[in-house]
C-alpha cells in the first residue's frame, strides 16, 4: 500500500520517550523506578489551586489540539467560554471524524514527545511544565470524575451533543412512551384487520344450508361428488360454533341443527353410516369426536411382543436392528413390547419369528393380560383364545408352569391357535373347542379367567374399515346379549376360594357403552358375589358411571377405556372382577333356564324341532355321598350305574347334535331302524326251523310214497 494522505501532511511520528512510558505506567498504577530524575523533576503535577489560568479565547487549547492530531478543535458546549477556575471543563465527545481517526484509542496528542510539547508551552506562556494540561482530552485519574454523555450507536449526533438535564431526560422518557403507545395501537389495528379476515368477533360463520334453497339444486348436489376440502372446512367451522355457541351461532338456529349438520358432514367425509356416526359422536365432545374419527383413518403402529420363554427384549432388538429394522420400546408401561417404524425385511418371515422369539400383536392386546396378572402354578382359562396372542402371553408370565385352558368355539381359528402355541413354545396349554357359555358345566374352578369377548370392533376401525357401514342397530342388540351370557359363565367358572386368584378380566375391542359399561353393570346386578377391582394399569381413562341418562354402579370408574386419538393404540375396554363368594344356586338355575330358552328359540328360528328335555345341571356330588345310596353298587370305583350312564350319554349326544344344528330325533330314528332290523332277523330265525321241518316232512312223505310204490 502507498503512503496515506495523513502521512504525507504530517510525516512520520517522532519516537516515543521514556517519559511517555512512565506516564502510561503512572496512569495504570504501576511503580515507575527507571525514569530519570531530571525528567521526574521537570514534570510537575497540576492542581486546582496553583493552575495557571487559561486564556479566554482558548488559543493554547487550539494549538495543542492542532499539533496533536491536526484536526479542528471541537466547539464548547452551548458556545460558552472557559472560566478561569481551577477545575477542568468536562471533555466533550468528539465528532465522527475524531472517532474514525486512525491513531488508535490511547494515542492522543499528549502522547507526543516532551521536548516538542515544552517548546509549545513556552511559546504560549500560559501553560506550566506539565504537558498534561496542554490538552483537555487527556486528564489525570486524580482529578474529579467527569461526566460524559453516553449514547447508543443508533442515536443521532445531535442527541450526543445535547447536555443531559432533568428536562432532557423527561423529554426522552416522554418520547419513548409515545413510541410504545404508537406500537401498541398499530398492533391492535393489525389484530382487528386479521380478525376481520378470519371472521372472528366480526362475522358469524355461515355453515348451515339455507332452507329456501331450490330442491333441484339439492338434488344436483347429491349427485355430484362431495368437495372434501369444503367438507373439512365446514366441519371445523361447525365445531368452532358448537364450542362457543352463544357468540358464534346464527340467530334462530339451534344446537341440534348444527349437530345434525356436523354428523352429516362426518358421514360424507369419512364414510360412516348415520347410525354408527351418531353413536360414536355421542361418546365425546365435538372437538374430540373429530379427533377420534380422524385417528381412525390412519393405521396404528406395528408392535411385536417379545416371547420371554425363548429370548430377552434387548437381544431381540439387537438381532432385528442388525437385519435393518428401525424400532424402539413401545412405552414404559410394557417390558416386552417393541414398536416397529421401518423394516427392510418382512416381519412375519424372519428367522427370529419362525423360531418363536416374537409375535405380531397389537399394543392394546397386552393390557388384558397385564390386568389379569396370572401367577405361576395357577389354573387359568382363556375363553376366546384364538389366535393365541393373549394365551401365549399368559404362558410367558406363568413361565410355562401351571395349566392354561385355551378355548375357542371355531375349529378353523383353533388351528392358528395351535400353531402359535407350538411356535412360541408354550407347553402348559390345553386347547379345547367348546361354546364358552357351556364352560361352567364342562370344567370349572379356575384361579383366573380371561374373557376377550366378541364385539362390534368399533375400536379397530383403522384395521377393518367395513365396520363403518356393516354395523346396524340389530348388531348392538345381539352382541351385548351374547357378551352378558359369556360374562356370567366366566364368573361361574372362577373359584372364589382360590388362595392366589379368584379374578376375572373382561375386555373388548369396542368403545361403545352398550358393549362395555352396560354389560359390566348387568353382571354386577346378576352376580352379587363379584366386585370390581383396580386394573393396576398405569394409563387409561376411567369408565363411564353415567351416560345419556343412564346411571351405572359407582365402581365402574375402576374400569379403563383406551382411544386411538388419545394413546395411539386400538380402542379397548378393560374391567377386572374379583369373586368373593359362591354363586347362589337360585341365580344359577334362573340363568340356566334363560339359556335353555335361548337355545330353543335359536333352534326354532333355524327350522328344527325342539324337544322338551330335562337336563340335570347341578354339579356332580362327591363320591362318598353316592356310596350307600339305593340302587347304586358300592364297588371299588365309587359306584357306577350303567343304566344312568347310558341316559347321560344319550342326553350328551342329543345336546351335541343340537349344537351342530342337527335334529336329535335322528338318534331315535336310528334306534327304531335298528329295532326293526332286530325284529326281522329274529323272525327269520324263527321261520327257518319251521321251513326245515317242512322240508324234512316232505322228504319223509316222498320216501313213504316211493316205498309204497315199490311194495
Q: Is the domain of 446 the same as that of 573?
A: yes
Count of domains forming the chain: 4
Please tell me the least confidently modeled range out of 7-21, 73-87, 184-198, 368-382: 73-87
Is a pLDDT exceeding 80 seen at residue 280? yes
Q: Is the domain of 268 the same as that of 398?
A: no
Q: Is 455 a catalytic residue?
A: no
Give me the sign of the Cα torsion angle 665, 671, 675, 678: positive
**Residue 203: which pLDDT band, with cuts at 50, 70 and 90?**
low
C-beta neighbour count of 365 within 10 angstroms:
21
Greatest C-alpha distance within the chain: 210
- For position 312, what pLDDT does the model report? 96
Between strands 503-508 and 572-579, the pairing is antiparallel
Task: Establish if 170 belongs to a structural domain.
Answer: no
Query: What average pLDDT does the structure give for the chain?
Result: 75
Between 273 and 637, where is the model more confident? 273
Q: Is the domain of 554 the same as that of 690?
A: no
Is a pLDDT exceeding 50 seen at residue 128? no
SS3 403: strand
The tens digit of pLDDT for each residue in 466-492 reads 999 999 999 999 999 999 999 999 999
CA 676 distance to own-chain centroid: 72
Task: Establish if 17 belongs to a structural domain.
Answer: no
Cβ distance 8 to 122 under 8 Å?
Answer: no
Cβ distance 452 to 387 under 8 Å?
Answer: no
Is a pLDDT exceeding 60 seen at residue 441? yes
- For position 25, what pLDDT does the model report? 82
Task: Tell the burial category of 571 from Cβ atoms under 10 Å away from its Cβ (0-12, 13-18, 19+).
Answer: buried
Alpha helices in 543-608 (DSSP H): 564-567, 585-605
The tens digit of pLDDT for each residue in 304-333 reads 999 999 999 999 999 999 999 999 999 999
Between 504 and 642, where is the model more confident? 504
- For position 565, what pLDDT does the model report? 95
C-alpha cell at 386: 384364538
Is a pLDDT exceeding 90 seen at residue 24? no
Domain CATH for 445: 3.40.50.150
Tell me the residue range of the domain where 225 lies. Answer: 217-295
Residue 573 bridge partners (DSSP): 508, 561
Give the Cα separation of 404 and 195 in Å (integer). Answer: 65
**Residue 31: which pLDDT band, with cuts at 50, 70 and 90?**
confident
Task: Tell the burial category of 380 from Cβ atoms under 10 Å away from its Cβ (0-12, 13-18, 19+).
Answer: buried
- For position 172, what pLDDT does the model report? 82
Give me the sign of the Cα torsion angle 454, 460, 463, 465: positive
Is a pLDDT exceeding 60 seen at residue 221? no
Q: Is the domain of 524 the same as that of 386?
A: yes
**Residue 505: which pLDDT band, with cuts at 50, 70 and 90?**
very high
Is a pLDDT exceeding 70 seen at residue 583? yes
Is a pLDDT exceeding 60 seen at residue 142? no
- For position 251, what pLDDT does the model report? 82
The tens digit of pLDDT for each residue in 406-417 reads 999 999 999 999
Is a pLDDT exceeding 70 seen at residue 590? no
Alpha helices in 365-474 (DSSP H): 366-372, 389-397, 411-424, 439-442, 467-470
- For position 646, what pLDDT does the model report? 81
Point out the annotated binding site for S-adenosyl-L-methionine: 384-390, 408, 435, 452
Tell me if the pTM is above 0.85. no
Mean pLDDT of 199-226: 57
Give the Cα separation of 446 and 351 in Å (integer). Answer: 36
The tens digit of pLDDT for each residue in 517-549 reads 999 999 999 999 999 999 999 999 999 999 999
Cα 32 to Cα 19, 108, 329: the distances in Å are 10, 21, 73
Mean pLDDT of 77-95: 42
Choose among 406, 302, 307, 417: nearest CA to 354.
307
Give the Cα separation of 283 and 289 in Å (integer). Answer: 8
Q: Is the domain of 288 the same as that of 385?
A: no
- For position 50, what pLDDT does the model report? 45
Residue 551 bridge partners (DSSP): 546
Task: Establish if 337 belongs to a structural domain.
Answer: no
C-beta neighbour count of 115 within 10 angstroms:
11
**Residue 204: which pLDDT band, with cuts at 50, 70 and 90?**
low
Cβ distance 19 to 114 under 8 Å?
Answer: yes
Mean pLDDT of 695-706: 48
Task: Establish if 575 belongs to a structural domain.
Answer: yes
Task: Establish if 255 belongs to a structural domain.
Answer: yes
- For position 115, what pLDDT does the model report? 44
Q: What is the DSSP string of 71-88?
A: PPPPPPGGGPPPPSSSSP
Task: Establish if 194 belongs to a structural domain.
Answer: no
Give the Cα separation of 275 and 281 in Å (integer). Answer: 10
Task: For the chain, give the percent of residues with pLDDT over 90.
Answer: 45
Task: Establish if 711 belongs to a structural domain.
Answer: yes
- For position 656, what pLDDT does the model report? 83
Q: Is the domain of 566 the same as that of 427?
A: yes
Q: Is the domain of 520 the same as that of 411?
A: yes
Please tell me the least confidently modeled range out of 314-318, 398-402, 595-599: 595-599
Give the Cα separation of 618 and 588 in Å (integer). Answer: 9
Q: Is the domain of 408 the same as that of 526?
A: yes
Single residue among 583, 609, 633 that ends a domain in this structure = 583
Cβ contacts of 10 within 8 Å, gap of 6 or more: 70
The tens digit of pLDDT for each residue in 598-635 reads 555 544 444 444 444 343 444 444 444 444 444 444 44
C-alpha cell at 352: 427370529
Q: Is the domain of 137 the same as that of 249?
A: no
Cβ contacts of 493 within 8 Å, gap of 6 or more: 381, 383, 439, 440, 443, 444, 445, 446, 449
**Residue 8: which pLDDT band, with cuts at 50, 70 and 90?**
low
Choose among 574, 451, 450: nearest CA to 511.
574
The size of the chain, in residues, is 711
Point out the annotated binding site: 384-390, 408, 435, 452
**Residue 118: which pLDDT band, with cuts at 50, 70 and 90?**
very low
Single residue among 277, 295, 313 that ends a domain in this structure = 295
Residue 379 bridge partners (DSSP): 403
Is a pLDDT exceeding 80 seen at residue 168? no
Is a pLDDT exceeding 70 seen at residue 271? yes
Q: Is the domain of 252 the same as that of 385?
A: no
Single residue among 539, 564, 583 that ends a domain in this structure = 583
Task: Establish if 81 belongs to a structural domain.
Answer: no
Q: Is the domain of 291 the same as that of 375?
A: no
Q: 267, 380, 455, 509: which one is catalytic?
A: 509
Which residue reads 389354573 in cell numbers? Answer: 379
Give the Cα separation of 15 and 155 in Å (integer). Answer: 39
Q: Is the domain of 526 the same as that of 377?
A: yes
- For position 645, what pLDDT does the model report? 79
Amino acid at each position: 500500500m502507498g503512503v496515506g494522505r495523513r502521512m504525507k501532511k504530517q510525516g512520520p511520528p517522532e519516537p516515543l520517550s521514556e517519559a511517555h512510558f512512565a506516564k502510561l505506567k503512572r496512569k495504570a498504577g504501576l511503580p515507575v523506578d527507571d525514569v530519570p530524575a531530571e525528567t521526574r523533576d521537570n514534570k510537575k503535577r497540576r492542581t486546582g489551586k496553583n493552575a495557571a489560568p487559561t486564556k479566554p479565547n482558548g488559543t493554547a487549547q487550539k494549538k495543542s489540539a492542532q499539533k496533536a492530531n491536526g484536526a479542528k478543535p471541537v466547539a464548547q458546549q452551548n458556545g460558552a467560554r472557559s472560566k478561569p477556575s481551577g477545575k477542568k471543563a468536562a471533555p466533550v465527545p468528539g465528532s465522527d471524524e475524531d472517532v474514525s481517526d486512525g491513531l488508535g484509542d490511547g494515542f492522543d496528542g499528549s502522547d507526543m514527545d516532551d521536548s516538542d510539547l515544552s517548546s509549545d508551552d513556552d511559546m504560549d506562556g500560559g501553560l506550566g511544565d506539565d504537558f498534561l494540561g496542554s490538552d483537555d482530552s487527556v486528564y489525570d485519574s486524580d482529578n474529579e470524575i467527569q461526566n460524559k454523555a453516553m449514547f447508543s450507536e443508533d442515536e443521532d449526533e445531535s442527541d450526543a451533543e445535547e447536555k443531559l438535564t432533568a428536562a432532557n431526560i423527561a423529554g426522552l422518557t416522554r418520547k419513548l412512551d409515545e413510541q410504545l403507545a404508537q406500537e401498541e395501537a398499530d398492533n391492535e389495528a393489525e389484530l382487528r384487520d386479521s380478525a376481520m379476515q378470519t371472521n372472528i368477533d366480526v362475522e358469524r360463520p355461515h355453515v348451515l344450508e339455507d332452507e329456501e334453497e331450490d330442491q333441484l339444486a339439492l338434488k344436483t348436489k347429491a349427485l355430484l361428488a362431495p368437495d372434501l376440502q369444503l367438507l373439512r372446512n365446514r366441519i371445523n367451522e361447525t365445531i368452532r360454533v358448537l364450542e362457543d355457541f352463544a357468540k358464534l351461532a346464527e340467530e334462530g338456529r339451534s344446537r341440534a341443527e348444527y349437530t345434525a349438520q356436523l354428523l352429516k358432514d362426518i358421514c360424507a367425509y369419512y364414510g360412516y353410516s348415520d347410525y354408527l356416526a351418531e353413536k360414536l359422536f355421542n361418546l365425546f365432545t365435538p372437538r374430540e369426536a373429530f379427533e377420534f374419527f380422524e385417528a381412525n383413518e390412519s393405521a396404528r403402529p406395528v408392535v411385536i411382543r417379545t416371547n420371554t420363554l425363548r429370548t430377552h427384549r434387548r437381544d431381540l432388538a439387537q438381532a432385528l436392528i442388525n437385519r435393518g429394522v428401525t424400532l424402539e420400546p413401545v412405552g414404559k408401561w410394557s417390558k416386552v413390547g417393541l414398536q416397529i417404524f421401518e423394516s427392510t425385511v418382512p416381519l412375519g418371515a424372519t428367522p427370529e419369528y419362525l423360531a418363536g422369539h416374537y409375535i405380531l400383536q397389537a399394543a392394546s392386546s397386552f393390557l388384558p393380560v397385564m390386568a389379569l396378572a396370572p401367577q405361576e402354578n395357577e389354573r387359568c382359562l382363556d375363553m376366546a383364545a384364538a389366535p393365541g396372542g393373549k394365551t401365549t402371553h399368559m404362558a410367558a408370565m406363568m413361565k410355562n408352569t401351571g395349566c392354561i385352558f385355551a378355548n375357542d368355539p371355531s375349529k378353523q381359528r383353533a388351528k392358528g391357535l395351535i400353531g402359535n402355541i407350538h411356535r412360541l413354545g408354550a407347553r402348559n396349554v390345553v386347547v379345547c373347542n367348546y361354546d364358552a357359555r357351556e364352560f361352567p358345566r364342562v370344567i370349572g374352578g379356575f384361579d383366573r379367567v380371561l374373557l376377550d369377548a366378541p364385539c362390534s370392533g368399533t375400536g379397530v376401525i383403522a384395521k377393518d374399515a367395513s365396520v363403518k357401514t356393516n354395523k346396524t342397530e340389530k348388531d348392538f342388540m345381539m352382541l351385548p346379549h351374547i357378551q352378558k351370557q359369556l360374562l356370567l359363565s366366566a364368573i361361574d367358572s372362577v373359584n372364589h376360594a382360590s388362595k392366589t386368584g379368584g379374578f376375572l378380566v373382561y375386555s373388548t375391542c369396542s368403545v361403545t357403552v352398550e358393549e362395555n359399561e352396560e354389560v359390566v353393570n348387568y353382571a354386577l346386578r346378576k352376580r352379587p358375589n363379584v366386585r370390581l377391582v383396580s386394573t393396576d394399569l398405569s394409563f387409561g381413562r376411567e369408565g363411564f358411571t353415567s351416560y345419556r341418562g343412564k346411571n351405572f354402579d359407582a365402581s365402574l370408574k375402576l374400569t379403563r377405556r383406551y382411544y386411538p386419538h388419545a394413546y395411539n393404540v386400538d380402542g379397548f375396554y378393560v374391567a377386572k372382577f374379583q369373586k368373593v363368594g359362591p354363586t347362589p344356586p337360585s341365580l344359577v338355575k334362573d340363568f340356566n333356564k334363560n339359556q335353555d330358552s335361548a337355545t330353543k328359540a335359536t333352534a326354532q328360528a333355524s327350522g328344527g324341532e325342539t324337544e322338551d328335555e330335562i337336563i340335570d345341571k347341578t354339579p356332580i356330588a362327591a363320591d362318598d355321598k353316592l356310596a350307600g345310596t339305593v340302587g347304586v353298587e358300592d364297588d371299588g370305583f365309587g359306584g357306577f350305574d350303567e343304566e344312568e350312564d347310558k341316559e347321560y350319554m344319550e342326553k350328551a349326544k342329543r345336546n351335541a347334535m343340537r349344537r351342530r344344528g342337527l335334529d336329535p330325533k335322528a338318534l331315535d330314528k336310528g334306534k327304531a331302524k335298528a329295532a326293526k332290523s332286530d325284529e326281522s332277523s329274529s323272525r327269520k330265525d324263527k321261520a327257518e326251523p319251521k321251513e326245515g321241518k317242512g322240508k324234512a316232512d316232505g322228504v319223509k312223505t316222498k320216501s313213504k310214497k316211493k316205498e309204497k310204490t315199490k311194495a
